[in-house]
Amino acid sequence: MRWGILATGGIAGAFTKDLLAHGHRVVAVGSRSLASARAFAATHGIPAAYGSYEELAADPDIDVIYIATPHNLHAGNAALALQNGKHVLVEKSFTVTQAEARSIVTLGEQRGLAVVEAMWTRFLPHMAYVREVIASGRLGEIRSLHADHTQHLPREDTHRLNNPQLAGGALLDLGIYPVSFAHDILGAPVDVDARATFTRTGVDASVATVLTHANSAVSTSFSSMETRGSNRATVLGTEGRLELADTWYAPTTVSLIDATNTLVETYDRPVSGRGMQFQAAEVERLIHEGVAGSPLMMPEESVAIMGTMDAIRAAIGLEYPGE
């Protein structure tokens, strides 16, 4: 598969580095600035550089485009790629709202193209282990899940994270991880509650969530861009628990502990690079096999997750400009 990279920020660089290090082919990069695109191309040895997203999307030599722009641009950028016949891997959060998510998934279905949310955690080997242990019944009935995502991030008012016009804040950048994890393990919630604190620019600085799922299972999370915490996660069942070490959403160690508080086994598989190559490999598999969505991150689940994010925003009173 021939990849195009849409945008040239830090996450685009990390993804491209993992792509190239693991044998994937990157043929072009696009930016709103030709100078930025050329600099990115030179850094990573990419043949073509474009000074607009439209030129990138129109390139006939590209099969799939990775969307790495700020959240508020995801829906428009993904639509541009799909309208030009390109499969898409769209950075999380998938969009800003559920309505945007639905529009992109519908467009992908209409065009017969793969649409995948780049929730890279879903595709990591240690998460496959977590799902296997749960499916085996070794934890008994799952009663709760807790996950934190806390970082000490830039506080300048002009930074994109603090800019409401760019849908900044902790929820879409950080909170999406534990919310997606809860969906993965417990399914969509039947009840949503949340509390938040805000920055002086009006975006959410921290968000705490309590989600109630089927069979009364509860997931909780705390996400903040003001302070770096342990970033651990726990899945608790009637017969044992799984503890995911720092940093739980990246390649890490997972401990299986039984109901007597005895360590049963530890999963600790080394992963080369950052680990973003696993999602790329899955996208390429889908394209080769002519499948629209990955069972690890189905398009409909991305829509459902954005519905939960909408409900969290409603609970904390967060609206973005233009809503």
Active site residue 17: no
pLDDT at position 323: 81
Residue 321 has pLDDT above 90, yes or no: no
pLDDT at position 292: 83
How far is residue 211's CA from residue 284's CA, in Å, rounded to a whole number?
A: 33
Reported as a single tens digit per residue, the pLDDT across 180-226 is 999 999 999 999 999 999 999 999 999 999 999 998 999 999 999 99
Residue 93: which pLDDT band, with cuts at 50, 70 and 90?
very high
Q: Which of 92, 126, 183, 241 is catalytic?
A: 92
Q: What is the pTM of this model?
A: 0.96
User: Could you tell me the fold of the domain covering 125-270?
Assistant: Dihydrodipicolinate Reductase; domain 2 (3.30.360)
Reported as a single tens digit per residue, the pLDDT across 8-39 is 999 999 999 999 999 999 999 999 999 999 99
Residue 239 has pLDDT above 90, yes or no: yes
Percent of the chain with pLDDT over 90: 96
Preceding peptide of 262 cis, ω within 30°:
no
Other Cβ atoms within 10 Å of 66 Cβ, number: 28
Tokens of 136: 């085996």
Question: 3-state DSSP helix/strand/coil percent for the chain, to nearest 5?
Answer: 40, 25, 35
- Which tops the pLDDT comparison, 321 or 84? 84
Q: What are the start and end residues of each CATH 3.30.360.10 domain in the chain?
A: 125-270
CATH of range 2-119+277-292; options 3.30.470.20, 3.40.710.10, 3.40.50.720, 3.60.150.10 = 3.40.50.720
How far is residue 127's CA from residue 130's CA, in Å, rounded to a whole number?
A: 5
Strand ranges (DSSP E) for 199-296? Answer: 204-212, 218-224, 233-237, 240-244, 254-258, 263-267
Q: What are the start and end residues of each CATH 3.40.50.720 domain in the chain?
A: 2-119+277-292
